[in-house]
Structure 1
């Protein structure tokens, strides 16, 4: 299994001989509803569009997960698996193969990787976006991705999970509360799923953020503090703090199939 962090929530995952691009923001700036004064993210360097992508996986329909300028540049023939809200974004861009996954539904990519949708981040009073469990069918290795730290109790049913990508730092707005649930939420999911490796997401990377929202956001936590929490709770999970743009291999202990008796 290989991973490349492409800043913010964007990842390139290589699993089961498949190349999966997760929540890509690769070109241009990041704004919400074109309100630069409220929030704007700018990259110090644009990431090249990865080649030979087998699937685009979108967890949410908001611009920091389904980034319109990036999606416009990607090949519209690439398969897309998305939350129902994100599926609308790519369908409006005329992508030709879009699978909308409701919570509990699964999709199998080229008989190599099974992707199952779980309840993820709440957006407003009624909408709940997706988290995903990806399983390499040949080895049984699994990866769980939820970019805002909202972990459904249903995820416990798939324990143990080998790799978790989720925030480990809290981001909150005064009076409104957490936008991103980091430290405590990440610790609880680590206890539940007993991962071999955890990787933080939703951090900036090589990105500069500005606007009114950035003046109000309150951040708490760090990778070092989270490692100490894991140790305090007798968890052997390794925390990897990736460098943006660097491809790295996760050396995981594969699941051993027990012999069938009788």
Structure 2
């Protein structure tokens, strides 16, 4: 397994010999619904589109996960696995091989990597987007991704999971209303899944935001404050924030198999 973070929620995941581009925002600004005055994200670094992509994986249809400007630069013939909302976005852009996954449905890539959709972030009162569990069928190594810190209790049945990509540092409106859930939910998730690594996702140091909303967004917690919480709860999970653009290979240990 090798992971490359491109800041925000954009990742290149290499598992089972396949290259999966997850929620790519690599070029241009991030604007929601042409409302740049409300909030606009700019990356200090423009990242090239990775080569030899086997699959694009999209968790949400919003612009920070299905970024139109980036998706327009990618070969439309690359297969896409997406939430129902994200599938609408890529189909409108002309992608030709789109598989929609509802919660608890699975897709198998080249008989070597299983991708399972799980309930993720609520977007409005009636829409819950996707999180994903990726599992190498030969080794059993697994990865879980949810970009806003909303974790379904149904995940417990998939434990343990080796690597988790989710917010550790949260973001709130006015310091009260969570936008990205952080420390408390990340700790609960680690208790459920017993991961070997938890890696911070969502906006990092390479992204700056401007607009009206930025004045009411406040960070919640730090990685440094989270580490002792793991120790206090007898968890050996390593927590990291990667440097954008630099590949990382987690040193994973095979799990002991318990026979009932």
Task: For residues 175-232 of structure 1, give each alpha carbon's deviation from its aligned partner in whole angstroms, at most 9, with x where no partner exists.
Answer: 9811110110000000000000110100323111111111111211111111111111
Match of 2:246 in 1: 246
Does the alignment pair 1:58 with 2:24? Answer: no
Q: Find the aligned partners of 1:158 and 1:97 in 2 and give their Cα distance.
A: 28
Match of 1:138 in 2: 138
Task: Name the SS of the counterpart of 1:4 in structure 2.
Answer: strand
Does the alignment pair 1:128 with 2:165? Answer: no
Q: Find the aligned partners of 2:27 and 2:123 in 1 and give their Cα distance.
A: 25
Q: Find the aligned partners of 2:157 and 2:145 in 1 and give their Cα distance.
A: 15
Q: Find the aligned partners of 1:205 and 1:104 in 2 and give their Cα distance.
A: 34
Match of 2:118 in 1: 118
- Pick closer, same or farther for the CA change 1:220–1:56 going to 2, 3 Å: same
Match of 2:162 in 1: 162
Does the alignment pair 1:32 with 2:32? Answer: yes
8 Å CA contact 2:175–2:217 kept in 1: the answer is no
Does the alignment pair 1:8 with 2:8? Answer: yes
Q: Find the aligned partners of 1:68 and 1:204 in 2 and give their Cα distance.
A: 21
The structural deviation recorded for 1:257 is: 6.3
Match of 1:48 in 2: 48
- How many residue pairs match? The answer is 259
- Name stretches of at least 5 consecutive residues in structure 1 with no aligned partner: none
Match of 2:210 in 1: 210
Task: For residues 120-178 of structure 1, give each alpha carbon's deviation from its aligned partner in whole angstroms, at most 9, with x where no partner exists.
Answer: 00000000000000000110000000000000011011001100000011211139811
Larger CA deviation: 90-99 vs 212-221 = 212-221
Provide the TM-score with structure 1 as the length reference. Answer: 0.96
- Name stretches of at least 5 consecutive residues in structure 2 with no aligned partner: none
- Pick closer, same or farther for the CA change 1:105–1:243 going to 2, 3 Å: same
Q: Find the aligned partners of 1:256 and 1:204 in 2 and give their Cα distance.
A: 35
Q: Find the aligned partners of 1:186 and 1:142 in 2 and give their Cα distance.
A: 17
Q: Find the aligned partners of 1:85 and 1:209 in 2 and give their Cα distance.
A: 25
**1:70-81 mapped onto 2 (5 Å cutoff):** 70-81=70-81
Task: Name the SS of the counterpart of 1:187 in structure 2.
Answer: helix
Q: Find the aligned partners of 1:198 and 1:111 in 2 and give their Cα distance.
A: 27
Q: Find the aligned partners of 1:223 and 1:85 in 2 and give their Cα distance.
A: 32
Q: Find the aligned partners of 1:135 and 1:14 in 2 and give their Cα distance.
A: 11
8 Å CA contact 2:175–2:218 kept in 1: the answer is no
Does the alignment pair 1:69 with 2:75? Answer: no
The structural deviation recorded for 1:254 is: 2.4
Runs of 4+ in 1 over 3 A off after TM superposition: 255-259
Q: Find the aligned partners of 1:110 and 1:8 in 2 and give their Cα distance.
A: 28
Q: Find the aligned partners of 1:204 and 1:255 in 2 and give their Cα distance.
A: 31
Does the alignment pair 1:199 with 2:206? Answer: no
